[in-house]
Amino acid sequence: MKKMTIGIFAPSSPAHILFASKYKYAKSRLLELGFNVKEGNLIQNKNFQGYRTASGKERANELMNLILDEDIDILMPVIGGYNSASLLPYLDFDKIKNTKKILCGYSDITALQMAFLEKTNFSIIYGASLIPTFGEYHSKNIFGESSFFQALIEKSYDLIPPEKWSNQLLNALTEEWKNERLYEKNDGWKILNEGEGRGRVIVANIETFVTLFGSDFIPDLKNCILVLEDEDATITLEERSLNALKLYKIFDNLKGLIFSKPEIYNNKNSGLKYEELIDEIVGKRDYPIIYNFDCGHTIPSICIPQNGIMNLVAKNGEIKIKIEK
């Protein structure tokens, strides 16, 4: 495989400035792994407006310049945030249609990924934002990095749960991010509703996903296997978001449904487990539903090729997932 070039852009949070030391390390890690790296103009110029680098239009221009750069193979965000959707009105999808690159990222990058799934011919990997994925210092994120290469290169493979996981916050505003991360044993993926399903896989951050409905930037979800993840699954907000998806009838025409571990779950003294809330809202379905999956905000996170074919079997207490591209 030829040496690929990754274009780094900042569609939302200016984490390359806020977490400068970790950003520099993550960038060096990409070089170690054999990639070339090219920064977008807003990153190069250190544009900073507190919670973002610049206006939505200027951030869209940064991304467009990288898209049209023939030397760049992969587009990777510095991190997520809250405002990637602000780029959508300013992206020239007519020009983007004539290019073929790979778009990575997760969380708030859901806004860009859904739009690109609907309007472009890009290959899209849910996962692999620069700082969270490649900025693990002490023991590195070997499982997550390997998953990225798997999604990037392999045509057919099984998904395997990591043996351990972590939601520990290591402060990147200080040097704490270099400390050894605390992990706990992974209990594996759990079945909420048994069954078998095969279909295109679509992965989305719940909080960002619900903000796009009513726009022109939602791909066809019929007969797909939908993977949902959230960072802060405070039960009040989670119930609202999941119910919104129910009202939009998103759960009515799927081939499977997967919920990832949230980084934070707060049941607000309700006594309800996350899976109990899911069961209450989604209800009994004729397709498999699993939870406690590892794709999203916990470490390590599995990278998944959007629109790849997923085979999901959840029967007799066992779960098997295969990806085909």
Catalogue the E-assigned strands of 93-252.
Answer: 102-103, 123-126, 156-159, 164-165, 184-185, 190-193, 195-205, 225-229, 232-234
CA distance 288 to 211: 26
Sequence-distant (≥ 6) Cβ neighbours of residue 308 within 8 angstroms: 200, 201, 323, 324, 325
Told to judge if 107 belongs to the known catalytic residues of this protein, a careful annotator would answer yes
CA distance 275 to 114: 26
Q: What separation, in Å, do the N-terminal and C-terminal C-alpha atoms of the chain show?
A: 18
300 prior amide bond cis, ω within 30: yes
Catalytic residue chosen out of the listed positions 145, 207, 229, 231? 229
> Is 83:55 a contact under the CB 8 Å cutoff?
no
CA distance 258 to 129: 21
Catalytic residue chosen out of the listed positions 16, 136, 147, 297? 297
Catalytic residue chosen out of the listed positions 12, 13, 84, 107? 107
CA distance 216 to 210: 13
Please identify every residue annotated as catalytic: 107, 229, 297
